[in-house]
Amino acid sequence: MFPRVRTRRPDSNGVERPASGRGSFVDRLRSMQLDPLRRNSRSGTPGATTGVGARTSNADSNRAAAEASRMAVATAATAQRRSAAMEQLNQSAAGRPNVAPHRGYCPNKSAGGRDAAGPRTSGAEPTGGMVRNSGVKAPPSPDHHIKDVSPPRTTSMGARQSSKISQDFGLKVAITLMTRKPHRFDWWLRYHRSLGIYHVFVHVEDTPELVDGLLASEEFRDFVTVTSGSDNSIDAYNPHSPDNYYTLMQRQERQVKHSVAQCKQRGIDWLFHVDDDELLYFDEPFSKIVDSLAPGVGCVVLVNIEAVPKSLHSDCVFEDIQVFTQHRMLAYRNGKSAGRTADTNWHGPHRFTGSYHVVPVKRACVLHFESCTYEQWRNKFMKHRDMGEQKKLEIPFPFYRDSISLFQNKPEGGGDEREWKAFYKQRKIDHFGELKESERTRLALTTRVPPMINA
């Protein structure tokens, strides 16, 4: 800490008082400039320096020279302290590369991001339409009233940060979800990685082959963080199981909160919560959508539109189905969302906490492939055949309630499951047959979708 210089000098009335802090600076200005002029003007001849006035003027000049010298020394000391502080910050930052950073500073990426896919385009980091300053702010000088006239310095940290910004990933967006026996999860992962998703947090239930196979493969092991086990998910048909339909929301909450904490540690900006039968779709970059948000908005809601199946079976519904609609929907219609991880958290399956903004469907949406094959539908609702009547009535979707009732009333499904298949064809496939062309949205999807997170 630079010590304040404390002296005692007489004021204009001849009374001595301490000179320190900002007051001493004013006194020094007065002694250097104002007092000599004032005294000269009293002599009746401005600028005259004879007799006592000359001695007074000489004394003031000497005092001014001394004060100027003292200020020069203080300025040099201030510059040295600031330089030492920056060097200390440089050494501290260089020695702690794995410390969770401020959101404006992006550390070196591990292989878990898109770094493994190849080089990135250079440029400053776009987040919400603004260029983030990833530099470390130097601590304020205790002598802030003394102007620092030393030349600016380029520190080693500043050079390192400039290079880091030019290689930055951009807006980092992740997805969190729970999955159980998903349909073409390999396609789902490739699609979202191509879209520009930075990382995926997935909790696997009742599908050990997925953990040991696809998610452990060289292609995806650095793109996903997987949790599983110790959740009794093999006992999904038991209504008393701790992971049945009734506790689904609690398990989702646990997964989302855990993922938000992970995002903060990894410097990930936004987190989407979607399911393994849902795809994010953008007509404009997500970074541009974030840029248009009002101040304080921490939750972005994408409207969902429902896929229209055309047959009982499909090798890949994500590619085979090319018609979507917002009309005659059989499942939820209140969208899915992303939360800004710095200041939001779980607020139900469809929202994050805080103020939210609903994105017009023409800009972005969620494509929902709800039970788009017979096998998906059967596996989804047959496990709820032990559900009580009161719980079933609480489900808001008639298609869901009637599907569960079917498996309760016809547990065998008839020969070759023909009764189950007839229900699915009538209530799922034929249900959308009356859609007008104006109510259909046609999209053809591939895993080589252009990047639309940062574009």
pLDDT, tens digit, 9 for 90 and up, residues 321-350:
999 999 999 999 999 999 999 999 999 999
Strand partners, 177: 202
pLDDT, tens digit, 9 for 90 and up, residues 39-79:
343 334 334 334 434 444 455 556 655 665 665 555 555 55
Pick from 111-125, 336-350, 416-430: least confident: 111-125
3-state secondary structure of 297: strand
pLDDT value, residue 155: 26
CATH 3.30.70 fits 173-442, yes or no: no
- Residue 231 identity (one-letter amino acid): D
pLDDT value, residue 415: 87
Alpha helices (H) in 111-205, listed in sequence order: 156-166, 185-195
Does residue 19 register a pLDDT over 60?
no
Pick from 132-146, 204-218, 367-381, 416-430: least confident: 132-146
Does residue 213 register a pLDDT over 80?
yes
Question: What secondary structure does DSSP assign to 396-453, as a single string?
Answer: S-HHHHHHHHHHHH-SS-SGGGHHHHHHHIIIIIGGGGG--GGG-EE----S-PPP-S
pLDDT, tens digit, 9 for 90 and up, residues 101-115:
333 333 333 333 333
317 in Cβ contact with 369 (< 8 Å)? yes
Does residue 130 register a pLDDT over 60?
no
User: Strands 173-179 and 199-204: what pairing?
Assistant: parallel
pLDDT, tens digit, 9 for 90 and up, residues 362-406:
999 999 999 999 999 999 999 888 899 999 999 999 999 999 999
238 in Cβ contact with 206 (< 8 Å)? no
In this prediction, what percent of the chain has a pLDDT beyond 70? 59
pLDDT value, residue 377: 97
Does residue 166 register a pLDDT over 60?
no
Which comes out higher in pLDDT, residue 210 or 229? 210
- Closest Cα partner for 141 from 150, 129, 132, 133? 150
The pLDDT mean for the chain works out to 74
Which comes out higher in pLDDT, residue 303 or 167? 303
Distance of CA 99 to the CA centre of its chain: 17
440 in Cβ contact with 324 (< 8 Å)? yes
Outline which parts of the chain fall under CATH 3.90.550. Answer: 173-442
230 in Cβ contact with 204 (< 8 Å)? no
260 in Cβ contact with 269 (< 8 Å)? no
Dist CA 413 CA 409 (whole Å): 9
Mean pLDDT value of segment 182-193: 98
What's the token pair of residue 173?
Answer: 């967006």
Which comes out higher in pLDDT, residue 142 or 193? 193
∠ CA 401-403-405, nearest 5°, is 70
Strand partners, 7: 19
Mean pLDDT value of segment 181-207: 96
**φ and ψ at 94, to 5 degrees?**
-70, -30
Pick from 113-122, 171-180, 297-306: least confident: 113-122
Contacts of 7 (CB under 8 A, 6+ apart): 18, 19, 24
Mean pLDDT value of segment 195-206: 96
Does residue 146 register a pLDDT over 70?
no
200 in Cβ contact with 210 (< 8 Å)? no
pTM above 0.75, yes or no: no
pLDDT value, residue 118: 36
Mean pLDDT value of segment 131-138: 33
pLDDT value, residue 18: 47
Tokens 């997805």 identify what position? Answer: 175
227 in Cβ contact with 179 (< 8 Å)? no
CA dist 425 → 125, 315, 374, 378, 384 (Å): 49, 18, 8, 12, 20
